[in-house]
Amino acid sequence: MDNERTIRIERLLEVTRNLSAALDLDPFLKSVISEASELTDSETASILEYDETSNELEFLAAPFHYQDALRGARIPLKGSAAGWVYREARPLHVPDSKADPEHFSALDFASAFETRSILAVPLMVKGRPLGVLEVVNKIGDTHYTEDDTIILETLAAPASLAIHNADLKRRIEAEDSEIADLDRLKSDFIAITSHELRTPLGLILGHATFLRELLSEEYHEQIDIIIKNASRLKEIIESLSSVDNFQNGAARIRQRAVSVVRVIEDVIASFSDMASQRNITLKADLGRDDLLVEVDGGKIAIALSNLVKNAIMFTDEGGHVFVTGELVPGYVKVSVIDDGIGIPARDLPRIFDRFFQVESHLTRRHGGMGLGLSVAKAMIEMHGGRIWAESMEGKGSNITFLLPVNPMQAEAASKVFLP
């Protein structure tokens, strides 16, 4: 008897070990019901899963010679042994099926199989039943024992995990597919909208600029409002297109030797008026390095402009914004540092996402569509660079990017400098 018990334990351990290697659910569950039949000396075994749509149990695994007969069969939660086990979430031994009102005799008729006795246990995950594992007809017409129940409960544990994991995988794949469809719709919308709006916006800007030269000064304020807002719309469209082109692989860069020092100086000059109007000190600390890199200078200027503009917008009057540039092994490192309102720690991982905005009474007053940082990220990454942010709410932010000096080094040393 002890030797038989040892053999059973070894078989159970083997089934449990196989769970980690089981890539396909069906073969694994077939092995579970096969072991259940052998270890409990039963004629057959099966696994049933709860179907939320029909509020019934359906067969998930059964011996191959009964598969056709059981395919599509539904077991009610009331009036069946398996249904009772699922509802009560505890084992059930039915020694004489014919005398038990919980036996679902219609299944015997449909499958041309005579059920004499049943032992069933629930499949549980995190305290919730998923289905039922049952064995039928103890060989020799003896009664199922406590050891048989323990064997079934032991086999039910890995079977439950396998079913749960397969369900999670299906849900993730369905969500991934839905997300991919939404991304395609979003990209199509952006592409069509950008294309259709560029021409009328160009005409508005062109004619408004022309009218400004013709009209007397008393109308300049109204014309300037038109030009300013049309330019803002054009900037939004270009930002959307830039990120979308990068994400779908349509972005192109024209690399040549560019002085990052010159790019920084030009960007600071272009934002000096904006900084002065807000009484913000805007300076650069560039050291003595030449900072030459092989990049598309226009795209790097766009990235840096978005970072500087953000820093000025989210820094209070009298604050400071600094742009630093230096050489690190194989890379040029540029940082935009401010002593503004900062970014909450919970929002830091998402600030480079398109349309993401920090929800705060301190930030919402500045408006915007949450595109600036996503555009900067796209521009830097299309050069094989990296960008990240460090911030403390109420203290300020430091957004840094690395550009490979040589495009062939894009995957080399950046991780050394990432926080």
Please indicate, yes or no, whether residues 224 and 339 belong to a single structural domain of this protein. Answer: no
CA–CA gap between residue 322 and residue 320 (Å, rounded): 7
Please spell the DSSP secondary structure of 364-401, one letter per residue.
HTT---S-HHHHHHHHHHTTT-EEEEEEETTTEEEEEE
Confidence of residue 93 (pLDDT cuts 50, 70, 90): very high
Domain that holds residue 226: 177-247
pLDDT mean over 220-242? 78
Angle at CA of residue 197, ends 196 and 201, nearest 5°: 140
| % pLDDT > 90, the chain | 34
Please indicate, yes or no, whether residues 71 and 37 belong to a single structural domain of this protein. Answer: yes
Q: How many angstroms separate the Cα of 264 from the Cα of each of 42, 128, 273, 291, 321?
A: 79, 60, 16, 11, 13
Domain boundary among 221, 247, 273: 247
| % pLDDT > 70, the chain | 79
The token pair at 137 is 């007809």
Q: Which of 141, 92, 91 is nearest to 115 (CA)?
A: 141
Q: What is the 3-state secondary structure (H, E, C) of 17-58?
A: HHHHHCCCHHHHHHHHHHHHHHHCCEEEEEEEEEECCCCEEE
By the 8 A CB rule, do 48 and 135 touch? Answer: no
pLDDT digits (tens, 9 = 90+) for 372-392: 788 888 889 888 899 999 999
By the 8 A CB rule, do 378 and 242 touch? Answer: yes
Please indicate, yes or no, whether residues 271 and 398 belong to a single structural domain of this protein. Answer: yes
pLDDT mean over 202-207? 86
For residue 93, what is the domain's CATH number? 3.30.450.40
pLDDT-wise least confident of 4-8, 55-59, 220-224: 4-8
By the 8 A CB rule, do 212 and 218 touch? Answer: no
pLDDT digits (tens, 9 = 90+) for 17-71: 665 555 588 888 998 999 899 889 999 999 999 999 899 999 998 887 777 767 7
pLDDT mean over 8-20? 64
pLDDT mean over 173-193? 77
Domain boundary among 173, 204, 230: 173
- The reported pLDDT for the residue numbered 355 is 63
Please indicate, yes or no, whether residues 267 and 397 belong to a single structural domain of this protein. Answer: yes
Please indicate, yes or no, whether residues 190 and 138 belong to a single structural domain of this protein. Answer: no
Domains held by the chain: number: 3
By the 8 A CB rule, do 155 and 120 touch? Answer: no
For residue 321, what is the domain's CATH number? 3.30.565.10
Please indicate, yes or no, whether residues 42 and 162 belong to a single structural domain of this protein. Answer: yes
- The reported pLDDT for the residue numbered 394 is 86
As a whole number, the mean pLDDT across the chain is: 82
Largest CA distance in the chain: 109
Q: Which residues contact 97 (CB under 8 A, 6 or more apart)?
A: 81, 103, 105, 115, 116, 117, 118
Confidence of residue 413 (pLDDT cuts 50, 70, 90): very low
Please indicate, yes or no, whether residues 148 and 267 belong to a single structural domain of this protein. Answer: no
Please indicate, yes or no, whether residues 27 and 167 belong to a single structural domain of this protein. Answer: yes
Domain boundary among 189, 219, 247: 247
The token pair at 224 is 């300037």
Question: Phi then psi for 303, rounded to 5 degrees?
Answer: -60, -50
- 3-class DSSP assignment, residue 72: coil
What does the CA dihedral 352, 355, 360, 362 come to, rounded to 10 degrees?
A: 80
pLDDT digits (tens, 9 = 90+) for 303-361: 999 899 989 999 999 999 999 999 888 899 999 999 999 888 888 888 888 666 665 54
- The reported pLDDT for the residue numbered 217 is 85
